[in-house]
Structure 1
Amino acid sequence: MNFPFFIARKYFLSGKKKNFINVISMISMVVVAIGTMSLILALSVFNGLEGLLRSMYGNFDPDMVVVPSSGKSFTYDSAQINLIRSVDGVRGVTEVIEDNVLVRYKESQRVVRMKGVGRDFDEYSGIKNVLVSGEFELVRDSIGYAVIGRGIQYDLSISLKNDFYTLQLYYPKDIGPGVVNPERMYTVLNILPGGVFAIEKYYDDNYVFVPVEFARELLNYKNKLTSYDVYLDADANPENVKEELQNALGDVFKVKLGDELHSDLYKVLKIEKLFVFLILVAIIGIASINIFFSLTMLVIEKKKDISVLFAQGASTKLIRNIFLYEGSIVAFSGAAVGLVLGIGLSLIQQHYGLIGMGMNSAVMNSYPVKIEIMDVFLTVIAIIAITLLASIQPAVKASKSFSTHTLQ
């Protein structure tokens, strides 16, 4: 006689000694729920941090950068910029001259990264979104202005309201031997500070924007540039545009996506996210040992009942599936509760920002979170795998117990 699955399960899971096993199963369910919730929350925070970095850098970095394959500069040709603009998906192009210079204000000085850009730079970039004072107007009434990072402003005590003091930018000349006059060893130009931006500490402490004509004169670049900043349409595919642009420009230039400029940082974030995922999965795996023990004790307690089921026609597969089903109930119930709590808390944090960063100078007041379907999917897969691993051995032991135990 073959017992239906639910009748067999109810038969040998009933009894007076099952309360202790039920308590262990409940504890296992709670631990799995907490582990699953923690996993969803941790992965969502990493996603939020990555999105925050992309949004911050997006106000500064272009969608693509075209740089020379060798050397740090190249000769400007209007045909090049027209070729870039002709590629489908390209919204705009800006000429760039970028190099390290010495900046002096009153009696203070330091080395900064000067970036000379075209006058349409603010039209394509999001730099205006991060201005904290002044305006991003590089040329006004034929007078050039510099836009500086907030860290540079603090370091040099720069005042935007004092037009009597200018920024002095120094750059060494390419001189030959025999020059002994120090004033002939460098070029110095003056420019007024016109605005202050705040993006991220590295940019705030190092970058100064100036008109590209000013940078060309300071560096004596004549008709040279260091790169083109390329901006794409919102619906453009960056990979396709990059490939088409690289084929059009040839091997003389190298095309880089905006994300590639910070590839090391994004790679570190992904590695940290992977290790956090593995650590929390390992914790859930340790918690699933309770499932293993509870099922093993159930097998030991129900040896006689299992033998009765075998004697009445229950198959080995049926007994094995009953224990696998029990382990799955515990794990899936805990995982379901953990997923609901994790996703719910992530959504609450995303919309209301209940947990703050704890720093007044932070870019955001609360921790950024972002839920990704792939993280939820991987979490579910991990729970299924851990459940099966924890339940297989007790289930197999139960299915084989009839060969060594007989009715008494």
Structure 2
Amino acid sequence: MNVPLLIAKRYFRSKNKRNIITIISNISMIGVAVGTMALIIVLSVFNGLEDLVRTLYSKSDPNLVISAVKGKAFPVNPTFLQQLEQTPGVALLTEVIEDNALLQYHDRQMVVKMRGLSDNYFGQSGIDSSIREGDHRLRRDSVEYALVGAGVRHELSITVDNRFSPLRLLYPRNTGRKTLSMNPDKAFNEQTLMAGGVFLIEQHMDDSYIFVPLSFARRLLDYGDRRTALYVKVGESFDVEQVKRQLREQLGPDFKVLDSDEQHVSLLRAIKVEKLFVFITFAFILLIASLNIFFSLSMLVIDKKKDIAVLIAMGANERTVRRTFLLVGAIVALVGAAAGLVLGVSICWIQQRFGIVSMGMATSVVDSYPVKMQLSDIVLTCVAIIFITLAVSIRPALNASKLEVRENL
């Protein structure tokens, strides 16, 4: 029979405890429950935001991106491309030219990120599901079209398929001189094409990007056989990490091969850092809430001095007394934590299922706050609660084990 646990249960359930001790114990349980519930919910929201970022970018991002370690662009040739296409796991290879350009429409203008894409791009991208107006194709019956972000379209008031007012794109001409000519005709390359569609992916891309055919970008930027990146679609039966390692070995140190997370490493790292600081903050809140356990145990020790002296007189050692009061604190924390876990998981499940709490923004790509529960968060929360409970219970338990028998009988 586990004597410390039996006594701890009786102390916890006892109706003869002084009223103030009961109140403090109840406050402790409520505080731990609320802190645990909040921690589970907030961590799940951060998990949902991280997944949302991946989902949004997956509509336009390839499985892998090949780019140069030094410089903005690198030369390609048919042999080089053929070798990459023959690499096991490479299902599709898309050539990309990306650079800043000046976009003019009527009397308005803005600097945009222009991404030139070869015709097979839409074979590896799900961006066609993000088209809000027009057609996703960049070429129709040999006519070149541009896809513009919703923010760019709003900023310049662009009309889709307007044959009378095409988009004008300008890029500084490479003349070998350090200064631009004062004559605009000599200083800039200029090309025109119509807006064929509007995409809505995420705010950064929507407000700054336009997609154009690769041939259009080559003419405007005078890139010739140079490319800023190559997009790789990995076959369904192949592992992305394995294909990435093969390409890195094949291309050598002059190229870098990035997977989806590495393409947005700064954003994902920021979310993880915020999640870590939120966890630390809520752990401190849990610690403050658990201080009530310290006070309730301290008062319980004072109230049960005679009982402790009797136990010691009957042969109980210091370890038994100490374990008894540690278990009382553990039971209080466990009941509160269990209630908080149930409430937190239930609220997250309801949000996942029904989306009750909305983002509150008309332009948001999702209607409600994204939530994703992870077992690792629940385990980490439980570990934090165990550590905090031990930290606040150890002192009263030590005081109880060192009571003098003669003075308290």
Q: What TM-score bracket applies, with the shorter chain setting the length?
A: over 0.9
The alpha-carbon deviation at position 176 of structure 1 amounts to 4.4
Match of 1:77 in 2: 77
User: Which shows bigger deviation, 361-370 or 153-162?
Assistant: 153-162
Identity percentage of aligned residues: 45
Tell me how far apart the structure 1 counterparts of residues 403 and 31 of structure 2 sit (CA, whole Å).
30
What CA deviation, in whole Å up to 9, does each residue of 1:300-358 have, x standing for no partner?
A: 11112211111111122111111111111100010001001101100110110001111
Tell me how far apart the structure 1 counterparts of residues 189 and 9 of structure 2 sit (CA, whole Å).
90
**1:392 pairs with 2:394:** yes
Match of 2:67 in 1: 67
Q: Is the 8 A contact 2:310 2:405 kept in 1?
A: no
Match of 2:257 in 1: 255
**1:222 pairs with 2:221:** no
What CA deviation, in whole Å up to 9, does each residue of 1:108-150 have, x standing for no partner?
A: 2111111000111111011111100011111111111111111
User: Which shows bigger deviation, 13-22 or 104-113?
Assistant: 13-22
Match of 1:312 in 2: 314
Q: Is the 8 A contact 1:103 1:111 kept in 2?
A: yes
1:401 alignment partner, one of 400, 403, 409:
403
How many pairs were matched up? 406
What CA deviation, in whole Å up to 9, does each residue of 1:157-193 have, x standing for no partner?
A: 1111421111111111111459664312211111111
The alpha-carbon deviation at position 406 of structure 1 amounts to 4.3
Match of 2:266 in 1: 264
Q: Is the 8 A contact 1:46 1:273 kept in 2?
A: yes
Match of 1:356 in 2: 358
The alpha-carbon deviation at position 4 of structure 1 amounts to 3.7
What is the TM-score of this pair, normalised by structure 1?
Answer: 0.94
**Structure 2 vs 1, CA of residues 404 and 52 (structure 1 numbering), >3 Å: closer, same or farther?**
farther
The alpha-carbon deviation at position 15 of structure 1 amounts to 7.5
The alpha-carbon deviation at position 231 of structure 1 amounts to 2.0
The alpha-carbon deviation at position 7 of structure 1 amounts to 5.8
Q: Is the 8 A contact 2:11 2:328 kept in 1?
A: no
Q: Residue type matched to 1:30 in 2?
A: I
Q: Residue type matched to 1:128 in 2?
A: D
Match of 1:243 in 2: 245
**1:88 pairs with 2:70:** no
The alpha-carbon deviation at position 217 of structure 1 amounts to 1.1
Tell me how far apart the structure 2 counterparts of residues 69 and 7 of structure 1 sit (CA, whole Å).
66
The alpha-carbon deviation at position 254 of structure 1 amounts to 1.5
Match of 1:166 in 2: 166
User: Which shows bigger deviation, 327-336 or 14-23?
Assistant: 14-23
Q: Is the 8 A contact 1:3 1:314 kept in 2?
A: no
**Structure 2 vs 1, CA of residues 234 and 393 (structure 1 numbering), >3 Å: closer, same or farther?**
farther
Tell me how far apart the structure 2 counterparts of residues 8 and 325 of structure 1 sit (CA, whole Å).
9
1:36-185 to structure 2, matched below 5 A, reads 36-176=36-176, 181-185=183-187
Match of 2:385 in 1: 383
The alpha-carbon deviation at position 261 of structure 1 amounts to 2.3
Q: Residue type matched to 2:76 in 1?
A: Y
Tell me how far apart the structure 1 counterparts of residues 123 and 244 of structure 2 sit (CA, whole Å).
22
Question: Gaps spanning 5+ residues in structure 1: where?
Answer: none
Match of 2:285 in 1: 283
**Structure 2 vs 1, CA of residues 403 and 138 (structure 1 numbering), >3 Å: closer, same or farther?**
same
What is the TM-score of this pair, normalised by structure 2?
Answer: 0.94
Q: Is the 8 A contact 1:117 1:212 kept in 2?
A: yes
Secondary structure, aligned partner of 1:276: helix
**Structure 2 vs 1, CA of residues 325 and 187 (structure 1 numbering), >3 Å: closer, same or farther?**
same
Q: Is the 8 A contact 1:306 1:402 kept in 2?
A: no
Tell me how far apart the structure 1 counterparts of residues 281 and 407 of structure 2 sit (CA, whole Å).
41
